[in-house]
Structure formats: C-alpha cells, structure tokens
Chain A
C-alpha cells in the first residue's frame, strides 16, 4: 500500500486552520457539545486521519468545517480559516462558491448520498454546469474523463444508468468522481469505505490516495478504523468526547502513542498475527454523555490508568518529545505512574485468574 503520503510536492503551506471550534446542538435534554474546543492545522497536499468511536464528534467536526450544518439547529463558535479566509459565519449562499470547487465531501453510504431518481451522468455534470458554467457537451466529456480517472469501466454506458444499477464499490467511485469534478483543494472522506467489502475498500483507499497525489489535495479521512488510517495518512488526530486528545504524524503516533485511549483503541482490534481465541482487550463502558460530560478528563471513567487527579482536573494538550506530537493526559503511556498501574493490573489479573482488560461493561 503506497498510502496518501506526499512529501513536499507542489504548493505547500497551511491550507486549513481550525481554532477552538465548538459545535453545540441545543436539544430538549440540554446542549449536546458534539465538538468542544478543537484546534488544528492542515498543510496543503497532506492527509489527516480523524479517528474515534461513534459519538466522538469526528463526523460533526468535518461537517462543521465544511459548513454543512443548519444554523437553525447549531451553535458554532471558534474559527475555521481556509486558505486564509474565515468560513465560520458565512451563509449557505456565500458557501456555495467554496463547496465543490474548493471543498468536497465523500460520505459513508454511497446509496443514500446519490439521488436515486437521477442518472449518474447528470449527477456528475451538475456541479460542472453550476460551479464552472460548463456547456453541456463539455460537461459530459469531462464526466467521462472523471469516470475513467476513478476507474469506472464503460463510462459512456454508466452515464445513462441509475445508482441502483451499480454495485456499492462503483457507487462510491461515482461519489468520488462527483467530489473531484470541480477540482477541490480539500477533500473530506467520512468513513468512505466502511460500507464496502475489504477488497473494494483497498481499491477505494488506493484511488483516493492516487487522486490526492495527482491533484495535490489536502484530505481529511474520518474513520473509526486505525488500520485504515495507518497506511493512508500523514498525520492522525484522535478524538474523544468532542475533544482532540492526541495528534501526531502517523509513524510517530504508532511508535509512541501517549494517550491510554489511543492505545486501548489499537489493542481492541483483533490482529491476524494473534492466535485464534486470543482474549481481546476491551474498553469498558461507553463514550461519555455529551450533554453532561464528566468533570476532569473525559476518558477517565473508562481508563484503566486514571487516578484521582484525572477525575477532577482536565488535562490540556501538551507537546510530547516527538515533533508535531501533542496529547492530553496526566499519566501518559510510558510514564512511571502508567507502568506502576500496569504492574498492579497484571498482578490482579493473575491472582483472580481473569484475563486483563476483560472489563465490565454491563449495566452502563
């Protein structure tokens, strides 16, 4: 897998700068703090993986940046600077010349994101006509070229077909063709392969990587799967409970992860190099309630390494030794307190005869 990495090709510099972004949804139950103070920057031509469990805020983050949430139901604060311009506070009308031509998004479910009543061809040519004022015949020729780019066989025939006539993998290729149509500089891919088979997933990730290199796009790849981001990103941001809890270049993150949460996420994935029936490490409990998030570190109630301080005081993002690596934890992986607790846990599981990390998740 060659990945989406691109080292210093084409134009460089910061493309996206997100500062203290908060996305809150007022509901009957109270205010849901889906994204709660997230800051990061993304360079041109780089790929950032955003990882977290369901409800961590990773999808809301990408939609907030792109301005896809209705201002009637959402309270957005902070700043989103794209190519130096502030996007927050712009109306949908003002965002229209950003969508498609500057920023585009690929969604998880290619069936429900395509219009079932409209032919594939029309769905690809529509943004070309609207954003680029292309005449019909030129738009059609461009659509055929785009479909070739995303390796759809027999593009002329496919133009006349409806989404239901295509497989899931082909529909996702159509989604990518639509997203790429107006040559965006920034692509959001929100769980683009979760609904697909593993063989097709590999093809689609390769395709996104190839298009990203050819077009020098920045990509934000949102996923719950650390396996997907490992081979296909330059940097990874881990989200938990609406906050960014760790961010680092991909190889640095996997080599020196600091957050016990990141470590637990990685350890809960079954691996091919483990023997069958290996007891999996689990994260007990569930992600926090975003209406009343816990005091202190939001992961503390589920964290095997949490101490009293973690329940009282919230850790802020602090730099690790590695370049570009930040994390929010008082007792990170590798610290003395971490090792001390780890030894205690190993001791306890030995005496009780229960495998470590089984956790109790019932009744929560």
Chain B
C-alpha cells in the first residue's frame, strides 16, 4: 500500500480535494511518531459518496478528522469549496466548518446526556445566530421530522430516552441544520443492529438527495460501504491501496489486500463456500511502518521490489486505480458469492 501518487485526481466539479495529506502524532518523549496517515490524495465530486474502508488503525478516521482540521494535519492540503483549509486562520476555519459536518460511531456518547434533544439539534443555529428564535425552531422541527424523530418528544426528552438508532438520527439532524455540503460519516452504523443499520443507511440516501449532500463514508464493513458508495477507497497503514467505482472494486479487486478484505466477509448463506486464504497476522505498527509497500509483510505475492520500492497509484481502466507492483488480474466471479 501502499502507495502514493495522484494519477486518480480529477478536475471538474470537485467539492473536496485532499493532496499529500500527512498526519503524525508524537509518541511521548521518545522522539518516535505514529504515522497515522502518510501522504494520501483523493477527491470527492459534488453529490458523490466516497466510501473509505480499512482495518482498525489504518488511518481512515484520522483522515476524516484531519479534513475537518481536528487537529490540523502535519502537512498536505485540503481544498474544500475552493479554499485550502490548512491555510485558514482559526476564525475562518470555524466558519468553514459550518459547511462540513461529522457524524460519529457511538450515537449515544456523541450527544450531551444532560440536555433536551431538541436543544442539542438547535445549538449550531444558536451559536451562528441564524434567523430568529421562531424560524430556528421551525427549521429544527422540520429537520427532526425528516430524520424520523417526533419534534414534540425531542423537546421533552434527553438522549438516554431514545434507542441507539434514534440517537444516530438525532446526530444526523444536528449535522444537517447548518445546511452543510459535506458530511463525514465515521462508522455511523457499526454500533447498530442490522435491522436498524438498514434504516439509517436508507435514511442517509434519502437525505443526501433532499439536502444535496456529498458524503465521505468511513467504515470497516465492505458490504455496508458498497451499498452506499459511488466510489470506494481502500486504506492500509496510512496509505491508499486502491480507489475505484464501487461496483468495479467488487468485481475486479486489483490489490491483494482488497481481495483479503472481500474474502473475509462472512456470507449469510451456508451453501456458499468461499475460497478463503486467510491473511496471516495483524497490521504492523504505524510507529515503524515497513519500507516499500506497507502491505508486503502480509502479502502472499510480495517480492524484493515490494520490500524496497513504494508502488504508486496507477490507472487500470474505468476510473479504477491501484497502488501495487503485482495487481491481481483474475476478476472475482460474484456468482460464487451470491
């Protein structure tokens, strides 16, 4: 993983463009650093949903947070609606954040437990002094209705009186009231039951249309990501492996790591036997990432080139880019997994 490179960046109608993003964190006073994100580039077009997948610790959440400048990245640029966010001062950055919002994994702990739900959703409007109190109330009630929460109940109740799925709806309402163009969803359904997960995914699709949103959808579940995304980026240990239109990624995964991720998904059908070559071990530490392709320590196809030379993202046709010296060629027969 892999790799760097920018062959996949596009020019027209781009809402967000991230280039050479690096995020490092110091490890105490040891002089060592955690290489959470090590030079990744990607873009999202207006109205598009980009899915971002990878294992724990691959840097996908850090990527989402560094777009919000929470905290500011070590280096690289984040151009959003024409402005490079890394160059904005704090007050300009605060204003820019009204256009980009985030929803988090744990819907219950991301809401203030002591406040009424309607006030939680209202707060962004109050802080930014949008409209008068009557118009604010009207807007909040209509957004709450759009996400499927009864405004009357929201005015009377605190987060603990709602279920996990409902709390996620409330978080979504809070992110919508300022009318953002980009929503960064960080594992928004992984804490929910499958039945509720489906409700929230359908809701996000509906709201995306109604509010003309662009989504960055971060998750570890490839089936969930496929359902909601137009394009998908696969991350490993701080680098991008592969970026492709959603359908194409599943039909012909080119990076060996993508293939491993796909094969690990349990199929809800006992008659399907997936040819399964489990990947050995776990990702190495991002404090001392391996040289060359970062996946080489777990890759069955790795050779000397992979151990020394970092692969760059390159075009393999149809908007599909891969950072691998030995990309897979055989398409996966999806019939085998249906």
Size of A's binding interface in residues, CB under 8 A: 56
- Report the separation of the CA atoms of residues A169 and B247 in the bound assembly, to the nearest whole angstrom: 30
B195 touches A363 (CB 8 A): no
Stretch at the interface among B92-100, B103-111, B131-139, B260-268: B260-268
Asked whether A264 is an interface residue with its Cβ less than 8 Å from the other chain, the reply is: yes
Q: What are the residues of chain B within 8 A of A359 when measuring CB–CB?
A: 199
CB–CB A270/B265 < 8 A:
no
Task: Name the B residues within 8 Å of A264 (CB-CB).
Answer: 195
A353 at the interface (CB under 8 A from B): no
Interface string of B165-207 (1 = CB under 8 A from A): 1000000000000000000000000000111111101100100
Chain B, residue nearest A232 (CB): B266
**Binary B-proximity of A260-284 (CB < 8 A = 1, otherwise 0):** 0000111011111111111111110
Any B CB within 8 A of the CB of A250:
yes
Chain B CB within 8 A of A254 CB:
yes
- Count of chain A to chain B residue pairs whose CB atoms are closer than 8 Å in the complex: 151
Structural contact, A361 and B226, CB atoms closer than 8 A = no
Residue of B nearest to A52 (CB): B193
Q: Is A199's CB within 8 Å of the partner chain B?
A: yes
A225 at the interface (CB under 8 A from B): yes
A230 close to B195 (CB less than 8 A):
no
Stretch at the interface among A83-91, A155-163, A201-209, A329-337: A201-209
The contact of B194 among A205, A265, A274, by CB within 8 Å, is A265
- Residue A97, interface by CB 8 Å: no
Answer whether A272 and B197 are a contact pair too, CB < 8 Å, given A226-B268, A362-B148, A363-B150: no
A154-175 contacts to B (CB < 8 Å): 167-170
In the assembled complex, A227 has its CB within 8 A of some CB on chain B: yes
Cα separation A198 to B199 with both chains bound (whole Å): 22
Chain B residues, Cβ within 8 Å of A276:
226-230, 246-247
With contacts A1-B273, A197-B56, A199-B261 taken as known, whether A282 is within 8 angstroms of B150 at the C-beta atoms is: no
Asked whether any CB of chain B lies closer than 8 Å to the CB of A53, the reply is yes
Q: Are A272 and B266 in contact (CB under 8 A)?
A: no
Chain B residues contacting A279 (CB-CB under 8 Å) are 202, 205
> Is the C-beta of B220 less than 8 angstroms from some C-beta in chain A?
yes
> Which residues of chain A from 240 to 299 have a CB within 8 Å of any chain B CB?
250-251, 254-255, 264-266, 268-283, 286
Task: Give bound CA distance, A280 to B228, whole Å.
Answer: 10
Asked whether A168 and B269 contact (CB < 8 A) given A273-B337, A276-B226, the answer is no
A228 within 8 A of B: yes
Bound-complex Cα distance A362 to B226 (A)? 26
Interface check B321, CB cutoff 8 A: no
A200 touches B282 (CB 8 A): yes
Residues of chain A within 8 A of B164, CB atoms compared: 54
Contact B266 A202 (CB under 8 A): yes
Which of B147, B221, B270 contacts A230, CB < 8 Å? B270
Complex CA distance for A74 and B265, rounded to whole angstroms:
38
Measured CB to CB, the closest approach of chain B to A22, in angstroms, equals 24
* A198-B220, A202-B264 known; A268 vs B55 contact (CB < 8 Å): no
**A265–B196 CA distance with the chains assembled, in angstroms:** 10
Q: Is the CB of A201 within 8 A of B264?
A: yes
Q: Smallest distance from the beta carbon of A95 to chain B beta carbons, Å?
A: 31
**Given the contacts A169-B282, A273-B337, A286-B163, A361 and B268 also touching, CB distance less than 8 Å:** no
* Residue A347 is within 8 A (CB to CB) of chain B in the complex: no
What is the bound-complex CA distance between A278 and B282, given in angstroms?
33
Find the B residue at minimum CB distance from A224. B193
* Cβ-based interface call for B30 (8 A): no
Nearest-CB distance from B209 to chain A (Å)?
Answer: 11
Interface string of A320-364 (1 = CB under 8 A from B): 000000000000000000000000000000000000001111110
Q: Given A276-B230, A362-B150, A363-B148, are A269 and B194 neighbors across the interface (CB < 8 Å)?
A: yes
> Shortest CB–CB separation between residue B238 and chain A, in angstroms?
16
**Would you call B240 an interface residue if the criterion is a C-beta within 8 Å of the partner chain's C-beta atoms?**
no
Given A198-B265, A201-B264, A270-B198, A1 and B193 touching (CB < 8 A)?
no
Out of B195, B268, B272, which one reaches A282, CB within 8 Å?
Answer: B195
Q: Which residues of B contact A3 (CB under 8 A)?
A: 270
Given contacts A168-B56, A272-B262, contact A251 B271 (CB under 8 A): yes
A37 within 8 A of B: no
Residue contact A198 to B221, C-beta cutoff 8 Å: yes
Please measure, in the bound complex, the distance between the C-alpha atom of A264 and the C-alpha atom of B149, giving whole angstroms: 23
C-beta contact mask, B141-166 vs A, less than 8 Å → 1, else 0?
00001011110010000000001110
Chain A residue at minimal CB-CB distance from B298? A199
Give Cα distance in the complex from A274 to B222, angstroms.
12
B194 touches A273 (CB 8 A): no
Q: Which residue of A lies closest to B229 (CB)?
A: A276
Whole-angstrom distance between the alpha carbons of A64 and B202 in the complex? 37
Report the minimum CB–CB distance from A188 to chain B (whole Å): 19
In the docked arrangement, what's the CA distance between A169 and B149, Å?
Answer: 37
List 18 other contacts, CB 8 Å, given A198-B220, A227-B265, A363-B153.
A1-B273, A153-B281, A200-B55, A206-B278, A224-B193, A226-B194, A230-B268, A231-B272, A269-B198, A270-B223, A271-B338, A272-B267, A276-B227, A276-B229, A276-B246, A278-B227, A282-B199, A363-B149
Write 6 A-B pairs (CB below 8 A) sorted by A numbering. Answer: A197-B220, A202-B276, A224-B194, A268-B194, A272-B250, A276-B228
Q: Which 8 pairs, one residue from A and one from B, show the smallest C-beta to C-beta distance?
A: A362-B148, A227-B266, A280-B198, A273-B338, A270-B227, A268-B198, A363-B150, A283-B195
Question: A interface vs B, CB < 8 Å?
Answer: 1, 3, 53-54, 153, 167-170, 197-203, 205-206, 224-228, 230-232, 250-251, 254-255, 264-266, 268-283, 286, 358-363
